[in-house]
């Protein structure tokens, strides 16, 4: 009788879920788009894994660590370089008509051209003053700036496709770029037996640039005159609020690599990048380029933002278990493929997997809150800012005294504290009034 009741409850849940999907067009679109994106991204992800393995085996661990430094620099710097304008495209394009879309895109193109140019000059001027003191060489800094510009254009062009719900095009163009990246890596490292880092960055840049060109040809940007100042205010009010939380969150997300680079040997930096860096790359593909591609346009509609909040909380344990198990198995398998220079350490595997799982929950929550409006986006930034001094000190001390192990432990606590403070902040201290979808 007990098991019959359980089966009956499960059956009722499945039936209710099926009826919800059947009646709701937006949820049907989300599932259809998600499945399509997933198929393409499995192929793209496999190509990324092969590229990473070939690169790790071709270069020394210290050089592999330098790749991690440049990647982390570009992920951190592209947010201020774009001023977060891509987040405005995610929010406003799905709910705008064709004319409004053209206006918003044109505004973002002009604004991004100016911001990218200004920040390139600023970043180049910053190096002589303090970057060298952080054990980051001039080569790594300049390469990081170049890759940041390319990544910024890539992210911005993808935001146009994502905002217009052109998911098939995103998948196809990403796949084409990944194939080009794969072929160039195989040619340089296996065919020509070149071991320079320049070839890795050249291949990655080529794939990003190709995607950007294809995306811009698809969008066909139209000049919009006169410029609507009300829409400029709409775009940049929201994106500045969201960019604060994105930059601060990004800083915390990548700061561990910079502390490891400062306190540890080049070989240890490479080993750390093999664990935490590789795990971040896989997470980025599965989360940002699969789930969020179709999730953000869905929750741009306010009703589904509230639904997403409830569902994430309900399925929190399942998400954690899947993320920890999946990342652990993947890491063990691929560390072995990296070669004898990269020692398998099960403690590193466990810590990296837990940190990525908690960070996945945190990023989903951030996305949901940010899509509510500029007030919520600003609030997420404030919660990060509150945690920043504690987390900065924690990462500094643990890495200084316990090396890689300390850095991995600090990342776990970092993600847990960020998630906890954000939930407390929104539950008990967010009193500015209800957001609307037009905030």
Q: Name the residue range of residue 198's domain.
A: 24-429
| 439, part of any domain | no
CB contact at 8 A, 273 and 253: no
**DSSP classification of residue 95:** G
| 341, part of any domain | yes
> What pLDDT, on a 0 to 100 scale, did the predictor assign at position 304?
47
> What pLDDT, on a 0 to 100 scale, did the predictor assign at position 3?
44
> What pLDDT, on a 0 to 100 scale, did the predictor assign at position 255?
86
CA distance 290 to 328: 20
CA distance 34 to 30: 6
| 113, part of any domain | yes
Q: Which of 146, 123, 119, 258 is nearest to 201 (CA)?
A: 146
Query: Scanning the structure block, which residue is given the tokens 């890759």?
Result: 147
pLDDT along the chain (439 residues), means of 10: 47 47 53 64 82 90 90 87 84 81 87 91 78 80 94 93 84 92 93 87 96 92 72 78 74 86 91 81 61 53 51 68 82 85 90 85 75 68 82 91 93 89 76 45
> What pLDDT, on a 0 to 100 scale, did the predictor assign at position 178?
93
pTM of the model: 0.78
| 7, part of any domain | no
Look at the chain and report how many structural domains it folds into. Answer: 1
Other CB atoms within 10 A of residue 58 CB: 21
> What pLDDT, on a 0 to 100 scale, did the predictor assign at position 217?
92
Q: Please spell the DSSP secondary structure of 117-164, one letter per residue.
A: HHHHHHHHHHHHHHGGGGT--HHHHHHHHHHHHHHHHHHHHHHHHHHT
| 306, part of any domain | yes
| 19, part of any domain | no
| 436, part of any domain | no
| 13, part of any domain | no
> What pLDDT, on a 0 to 100 scale, did the predictor assign at position 92?
81
């Amino acid at each position: 009788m007990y098991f019959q009741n359980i089966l009956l409850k499960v059956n009722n849940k499945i039936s209710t879920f099926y009826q919800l999907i059947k009646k709701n067009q937006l949820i049907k679109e989300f599932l259809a788009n998600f499945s399509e994106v997933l198929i393409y991204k499995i192929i793209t992800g496999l190509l990324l894994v092969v590229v990473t393995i070939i690169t790790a085996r071709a270069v020394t661990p210290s050089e592999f660590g330098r790749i991690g430094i440049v990647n982390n620099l570009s992920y951190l710097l592209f947010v201020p370089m774009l001023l977060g304008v891509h987040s405005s495209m995610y929010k406003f394009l799905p709910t705008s008509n064709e004319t409004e879309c053209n206006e918003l895109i044109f505004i973002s193109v002009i604004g991004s051209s100016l911001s990218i140019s200004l920040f390139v000059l600023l970043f180049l001027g910053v190096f002589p003053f303090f970057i060298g003191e952080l054990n980051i060489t001039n080569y790594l800094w300049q390469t990081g700036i170049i890759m940041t510009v390319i990544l910024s254009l890539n992210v911005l062009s993808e935001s146009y496709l994502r905002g217009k719900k052109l998911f098939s095009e995103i998948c196809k163009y990403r796949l084409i770029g990944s194939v080009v990246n794969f072929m160039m890596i195989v040619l340089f490292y296996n065919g020509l037996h070149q071991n320079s880092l320049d070839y890795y960055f050249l291949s990655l840049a080529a794939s990003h640039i190709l995607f950007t060109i294809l995306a811009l040809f698809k969008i066909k940007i139209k000049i919009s005159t006169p410029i609507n100042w009300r829409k400029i205010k709409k775009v940049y009010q929201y994106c500045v609020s969201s960019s604060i939380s994105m930059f601060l969150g990004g800083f915390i997300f990548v700061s561990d690599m910079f502390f490891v680079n400062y306190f540890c040997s080049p070989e240890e930096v490479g080993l750390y990048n093999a664990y935490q860096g590789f795990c971040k790359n896989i997470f980025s593909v599965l989360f940002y380029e699969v789930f969020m591609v179709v999730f953000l346009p869905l929750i741009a509609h306010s009703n589904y933002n509230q639904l997403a909040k409830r569902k994430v909380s309900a399925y929190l344990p399942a998400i954690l278990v899947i993320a920890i198990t999946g990342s652990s198995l993947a890491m063990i398998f691929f560390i072995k493929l990296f070669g004898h220079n990269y020692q398998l350490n099960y403690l590193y595997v466990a810590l990296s997997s837990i940190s990525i799982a908690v960070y996945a929950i945190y990023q989903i929550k951030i996305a949901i809150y940010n899509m509510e409006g500029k007030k919520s986006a600003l609030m997420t930034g404030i919660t990060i800012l509150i945690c920043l001094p504690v987390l900065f000190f924690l990462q500094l001390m643990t890495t200084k005294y316990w090396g890689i192990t300390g850095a991995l432990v600090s990342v776990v606590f970092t993600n847990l504290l960020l998630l906890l403070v954000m939930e407390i902040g929104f539950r008990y201290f967010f009193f500015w009034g209800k957001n609307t979808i037009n905030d």
